[in-house]
Amino acid sequence: MTARIIDGKTIAANLRGKIAGEVARLQAAHRLVPGIAVVQVGDNPASSVYVRTKSKAVAEAGMRAFDHKLADNVGEAELLALVAKLNADEQVNGILVQLPLPPQIDSQKVIAAIDPAKDVDGFHPLNTGRQATGLAGLVPCTPLACVILAKTVHASLEGLEAVVIGRSNIVGKPLAQLLLAQNATVTIAHSKTRNLAAVCRRADLLFAAIGRPEYVRGDWIKPGATVIDVGINRVAGDGGKPRIVGDVAFAEVAQVAGALTPVPGGVGPMTIACLLLNTLTAACAQKGLPAPNL
């Protein structure tokens, strides 16, 4: 078998096009231009690339981007003061503080300071709790991206065996909650899971969010399974030139899986599209307008 490649880039471009259409409609009908503030602390090169890509996508969707770059040695109080200012700013519908933050700053404190209505990353404990109890709220972008991509293969996830490798607060746990809400049968695996390969072989849907290059091998895959690779790992390529690979051994897994996301070009672009979607959803909710139905 050779897996169908799930083209995250094209699927994301379609979603971004729909979002741009909805933004234009909101502007014409309600004079509403959704705005997102992206706060970056320090100069982490990966974060800088990500922030630039986000800002470009925000502008292309017709939304407003407010970028704030703070020095690596900024104090926690100063960052919290900026968050408070953004919470109060009516032009700002979404606030994203790029993680990780430097050690002098308590990330949990900063996340908890963001107005939950503007928490487009979906990391605020109130949104996490709403998700866990089945209430509407803002959902983290990468897990949302994973589910949308899986649903391009399976119209319904109901009853499917889903295995999520990874239990981080930003990917694994919220992804498992989303899959549960879709009525999948969910297993969360992690570094202490025994016989991970056998657990994975049960999966109709396998999600890898580990942070280890090409860790998931071809013989871990149930023939025909859908595999969503969240990993972004920088490795030395030919001639020492760095290249990006996922958590899944792509060439091997493609021989067994039914469908597979590539890295790059899978979950990454879809995550950005979901950030735009969350910003649009947040802006509509703040103005008392119905949630966008895209």
Decide whether 174 or 284 has the Cβ nearer to ligand NAP: 174
- Catalytic residue of the set 98, 131, 177, 182: 98
What is the smallest separation between the CB atom of 46 and ligand NAP, expressed in angstroms?
Answer: 8
Phi first, then psi: give them for residue 17, nearest 5 degrees: -65, -45
What is the smallest separation between the CB atom of 100 and ligand NAP, expressed in angstroms?
Answer: 9
Decide whether 80 or 199 has the Cβ nearer to ligand NAP: 199
Residue nearest ligand NAP by beta-carbon distance: 168
Interface residues toward ligand NAP, by CB under 6 A = 142, 165-168, 170-172, 189-193, 196, 209-212, 230-233, 267-268, 271
Calculate the alpha carbon distances from 252 to 71, 164, 190, 212 in Å: 43, 19, 22, 16
Q: Which pair of tokens denotes residue 166?
A: 């990874």
Decide whether 62 or 211 has the Cβ nearer to ligand NAP: 211
- Catalytic residue of the set 40, 115, 119, 121: 121
Clarify whether 54 is annotated catalytic.
yes
Clarify whether 121 is annotated catalytic.
yes
Clarify whether 98 is annotated catalytic.
yes
Write b or e for each residue in 221-256: b if 16 or more Cβ atoms lie within 10 A of its Cβ, otherwise e. bbeebbbbbbbbbeeeeeeeeeeebbbbbbebbbeb
- Catalytic residue of the set 54, 118, 173, 222: 54
Cβ distance 19 to 273 under 8 Å? yes
Decide whether 26 or 267 has the Cβ nearer to ligand NAP: 267
What is the smallest separation between the CB atom of 207 and ligand NAP, expressed in angstroms?
Answer: 10
Phi first, then psi: give them for residue 145, nearest 5 degrees: -60, -45
Decide whether 26 or 232 has the Cβ nearer to ligand NAP: 232
What is the smallest separation between the CB atom of 284 and ligand NAP, expressed in angstroms?
Answer: 24
The angle formed by the CA atoms of residues 19, 24 and 27, to the nearest 5 degrees, is 125
What is the smallest separation between the CB atom of 27 and ligand NAP, expressed in angstroms?
Answer: 28
The catalytic residues are 54, 98, 121
